[in-house]
């Protein structure tokens, strides 16, 4: 990449030099003009078409999507030719229905605009679902689910409900699926660059942390156990996706592992997120999304996160959750 740029840098200089040779400008001015043009080119290419400050590929050659690693016009036009539908699931039980309005309204501004999206919204109170105007080719189906007393159970039980949704309803309805937390908001584009066979999102707290910091489940008694020295990235449980087939296998496996833990009276430290991390260790994602695709607090930015696309909103856990 760099060598190519250096070569093009000199080629551009020669081209500009030749083009100016017929003009009645003094030599110094010509040289200056050519230098300015070359610097503009250099700046443009290095800023827009390469990222040297972050890894944009995993050791198993899966892309890691960061701003500056793709061209949205090109990637949109490729996918426009395919008639794809992205199923998107979100759960809002108990007091979490309060997050729906911002979630849906911001999604309609930024999430797969111009592509087919079908939201599947699971709630224990369908009457609390706000009436949000959806864009063209965007649909919403509300599904009633029973309430639960523990937030940990609500969170973990999503795996089972998603497994059944894919199995029973999505086969002829969608091509890809994303499963998202509802206590979130979109602030920037989330589009077709995120699509892949199996997609994980790097947790915003751990993208530049050493492996020993990762909050994997460390007790060997749990099915989510990852021994010290193993693991590639720490993935969030708040967003994942992929093809129906791959996400079905993921949700089924996590549901089975959670059930084994229940039978053994153990609950993984970060619930289904711990099982998801174990799954991704043995079933490597084919694409990773950078923490741009799940930031923690919109007001806190990092030099390498140049655009925040989707972020957890701040919430008072003690107030919104049914239990502590």
Nearer to Mn ion, 211 or 315 (CB): 315
Chosen from ligand GAL, Mn ion, ligand UDP, none, partner binding at 154 (C-beta under 5 to 8 Å by type): ligand UDP
Catalytic residue among 272, 273, 292, 319: 273
Nearer to ligand UDP, 12 or 148 (CB): 148
Nearest to 186 by CA among 314, 313, 312, 310: 310
Task: Give residue 223's Cα distance to chain centre.
Answer: 25
Residues 115 and 136: their CA atoms lie apart, in Å, by: 8
Nearer to ligand GAL, 108 or 181 (CB): 181
Chosen from ligand GAL, Mn ion, ligand UDP, none, partner binding at 151 (C-beta under 5 to 8 Å by type): ligand UDP
Distances (CA, A) of 64 to 3, 67, 169, 255: 23, 10, 31, 27
Minimum distance of Mn ion from residue 96's CB (angstroms): 9
63 within 8 A of 56, measured Cβ to Cβ: yes
Nearer to ligand UDP, 154 or 166 (CB): 154
Closest residue to ligand GAL in the complex (CB): 215
Minimum distance of ligand UDP from residue 310's CB (angstroms): 12
Task: Kindly state the DSSP code that residue 168 receives in the 8-state scheme.
Answer: I
Nearer to ligand UDP, 170 or 239 (CB): 239
Minimum distance of ligand UDP from residue 46's CB (angstroms): 36
Chosen from ligand GAL, Mn ion, ligand UDP, none, partner binding at 322 (C-beta under 5 to 8 Å by type): ligand UDP
The encoded tokens of residue 12 equal 């551009």
- The residues near 258 (Cβ < 8 Å, ≥ 6 apart) are 156, 159, 223, 268, 272, 275
- The residues near 105 (Cβ < 8 Å, ≥ 6 apart) are 132
Closest residue to Mn ion in the complex (CB): 181
Residues 5 and 320: their CA atoms lie apart, in Å, by: 53
Q: Which residues bind Mn ion (CB under 5 A)?
A: 181, 183, 238
Minimum distance of ligand UDP from residue 151's CB (angstroms): 4
Q: Which residues bind ligand GAL (CB under 6 A)?
A: 203, 205, 215, 236, 270, 273
Nearest to 75 by CA among 194, 163, 158, 188: 194
Nearest to 159 by CA among 51, 240, 83: 240
Nearer to ligand GAL, 89 or 243 (CB): 89
Minimum distance of Mn ion from residue 99's CB (angstroms): 9
Q: Which residues bind ligand UDP (CB under 6 A)?
A: 91-94, 96, 151, 154-155, 181-183, 238, 321-322
Minimum distance of ligand UDP from residue 284's CB (angstroms): 24
For the question of residue 67 being annotated catalytic, the response is: no
Chosen from ligand UDP, ligand GAL, Mn ion, none, partner binding at 215 (C-beta under 5 to 8 Å by type): ligand GAL
In sequence order, what DSSP letters do the residues of 7-47 get, joined into one string? Answer: HHHHHHHHHHHHHHTTS---HHHHHHHHHHHHHHHHHHHHH
Q: Which residues are catalytic?
A: 273
């Amino acid at each position: 990449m760099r060598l190519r740029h250096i070569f093009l840098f000199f080629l551009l200089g020669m081209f500009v030099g030749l083009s100016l040779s017929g003009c009645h400008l003094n030599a110094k001015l010509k040289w200056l003009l050519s230098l300015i043009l070359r610097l503009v080119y250099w700046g443009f290419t290095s800023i827009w078409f390469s990222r040297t400050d972050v890894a944009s590929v995993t050791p198993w050659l899966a892309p890691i999507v960061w701003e500056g690693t793709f061209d949205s016009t090109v990637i949109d036009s490729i996918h426009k030719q395919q008639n794809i539908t992205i199923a998107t699931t979100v759960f809002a039980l108990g007091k979490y229905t309060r997050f729906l309005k911002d979630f849906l309204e911001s999604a309609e501004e930024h999430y797969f605009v111009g592509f087919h999206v079908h939201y599947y919204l699971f709630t224990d109170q369908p009457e609390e679902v706000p009436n949000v105007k959806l864009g063209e080719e965007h649909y919403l189906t509300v599904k009633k689910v029973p309430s639960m007393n523990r937030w940990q159970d609500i969170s973990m039980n999503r795996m089972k409900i998603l497994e059944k949704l894919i199995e029973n309803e999505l086969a002829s309805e969608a091509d890809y699926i994303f499963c998202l937390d509802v206590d979130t908001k979109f602030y920037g584009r989330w589009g077709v660059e995120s699509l892949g066979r199996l997609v994980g999102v790097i947790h915003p707290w751990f993208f530049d942390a050493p492996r020993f910091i990762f909050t994997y489940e460390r007790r060997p008694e749990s099915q989510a156990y990852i021994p010290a020295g193993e693991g590639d990235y720490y993935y969030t449980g708040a967003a994942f996706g992929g093809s129906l087939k791959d996400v079905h296998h993921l949700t089924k496996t996590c549901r089975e592992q959670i059930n084994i833990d229940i039978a053994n009276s153990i609950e993984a430290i970060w619930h289904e997120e711990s099982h998801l991390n174990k799954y991704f260790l043995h079933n490597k994602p084919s694409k990773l999304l950078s923490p741009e695709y799940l930031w923690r607090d919109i007001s806190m930015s990092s030099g390498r996160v140049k655009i925040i696309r989707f972020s957890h909103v701040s919430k008072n856990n003690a107030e919104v959750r049914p239990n502590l």
